[in-house]
């Protein structure tokens, strides 16, 4: 077994990267996959969203790329099959240090010791196309791009696509666009539907069928330190992320009756 490594990336902030990282990770874990979520954003929102304080120096993903053994950094969560490597502000130093000596393989190398241990390793990334995100894309087999159903949704997408192409042409030829995930979808609004169909036309076959609705439970859950399914399982947000996880791993909808 070798984990599938998946980066959540979009250089725009507020598009749903962290919400998707936490809730896809939790959904996969609920579907009995062993999942490691690597918080790779100095803002540490995946960390706090799972109920942890931002780690001190030497206790998070910055320590990981500085050579600390990954096993010593992994935290267990309330979701039995979900683990997390937290992130704090110190990770921001990576942009400056690596800028002087570009090294794109740091994260990939740091994950190697546990790659056979997990089914999935998800990486949450910051809202920038700097060295942190480039390291995430170099480590990944797949990139998922969350995109809100808003007017400017596709703004900046060309730049992200170009970055993905450069990573494919250079350090990581096996990287694939796993899919574009429509987030914050307003149901039954013309704008939301127009944006969704524009994105689907621009990226045929690359947009997940399942989109994530705008749902207040998704915004509330992080302040309780829980994935949405552990905060309000019946909510539309929780069900959407479970459906997405099922779509993504290609399971039938009835595989895990426990969480339907
Ligand atoms: N589907 C959604 N419905 C409602 N609120 C959402 C949804 N997705 C994300 N949010 C909220 O929007 C904000 C930005 O989302 P976040 O996942 O942190 O984006 P990013 O990581 O890309 O910056 C957060 O406050 C989050 O709780
Ligand atoms: Mg985020």
211 lines ligand 1 (CB under 6 A): no
Handedness of CA 100, 104, 107, 110 (dihedral sign): negative
48 lines ligand 1 (CB under 6 A): no
**Domains, the chain, ranges and CATH?**
4-248 (3.40.50.300)
pTM (2 d.p.): 0.95
Question: What is residue 121's three-state secondary structure?
Answer: strand
8 lines ligand 1 (CB under 6 A): no
Q: pLDDT 10s digit of each residue in the chain, 260 long? A: 799 999 999 999 999 999 999 999 999 999 999 999 999 999 999 999 999 999 988 899 999 999 999 999 999 999 999 999 999 999 999 988 866 666 899 999 999 999 999 999 999 999 999 999 999 999 999 999 999 988 787 888 889 999 999 999 999 999 999 999 999 998 778 888 888 898 999 899 999 999 999 999 999 999 999 999 999 999 999 999 999 999 999 854 444 445 54
17 lines ligand 1 (CB under 6 A): yes
For the chain, what's the residue count? 260
CA-to-CA dists, residue 182 to 8, 24, 25, 101, 149, angstroms = 13, 13, 17, 36, 6
The CA dihedral of 156, 98, 110, 105, to the nearest 10 degrees, is: 70
What is the pLDDT at residue 153?
Answer: 79
What atom in ligand 1 is closest to the CA of residue 216? 4
CA of 190 to the centre of ligand 1 (A): 21
CA distance 96 to 113: 26
- Which residue among 14, 227, 240 is best mutated to probe the pocket of ligand 1, counting the most ligand atoms within 8 A of its Cβ? 14
What is the pLDDT at residue 254?
Answer: 43
CA of 149 to the centre of ligand 1 (A): 12
The CA dihedral of 103, 107, 108, 113, to the nearest 10 degrees, is: 130
CA of 257 to the centre of ligand 2 (A): 31
Of 8, 41, 22, 37, nearest in space to 160 by CA: 8
What is the pLDDT at residue 258?
Answer: 53
What is the pLDDT at residue 194?
Answer: 87
User: Atom 3 (ligand 1): residue with closest C-alpha?
Assistant: 214
CB 149 within 8 A of CB 113: no
Handedness of CA 47, 51, 55, 61 (dihedral sign): negative
218 lines ligand 1 (CB under 6 A): yes
């Amino acid at each position: 077994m070798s984990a599938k490594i998946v980066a959540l990336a979009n250089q725009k902030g507020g598009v749903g990267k962290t919400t998707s990282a936490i809730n896809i990770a939790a959904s996969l874990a609920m579907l009995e996959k062993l999942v490691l979520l690597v918080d790779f954003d100095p803002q540490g929102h995946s960390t706090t969203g799972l109920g942890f304080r931002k780690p001190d120096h030497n206790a998070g993903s910055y320590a990981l790329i500085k050579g600390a053994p990954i096993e010593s950094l992994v935290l267990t969560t309330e979701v039995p099959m979900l683990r997390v490597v937290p992130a704090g502000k110190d990770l921001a130093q990576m942009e400056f240090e690596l800028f002087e000596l570009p090294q794109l393989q740091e994260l990939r190398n740091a994950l190697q010791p546990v790659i056979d241990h997990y089914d999935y390793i998800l990486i949450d990334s910051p809202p920038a196309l700097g060295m942190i995100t480039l390291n995430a894309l170099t480590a990944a087999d797949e990139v998922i791009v969350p995109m809100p159903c808003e007017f400017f949704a596709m703004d900046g997408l060309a730049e992200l696509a170009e970055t993905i192409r450069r990573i494919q042409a250079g350090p990581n030829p096996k990287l694939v666009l796993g899919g574009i995930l429509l987030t914050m979808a307003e149901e039954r609004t013309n704008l939301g539907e127009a944006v969704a169909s524009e994105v689907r036309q621009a990226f045929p076959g690359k947009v997940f069928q399942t989109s994530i609705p705008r749902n207040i439970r998704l915004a509330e859950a992080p302040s309780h330190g829980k994935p949405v399914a552990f905060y309000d399982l019946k909510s539309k947000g929780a069900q959407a992320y479970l459906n997405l996880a099922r779509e993504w791993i290609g399971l039938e909808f009835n595989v895990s009756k426990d969480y339907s």
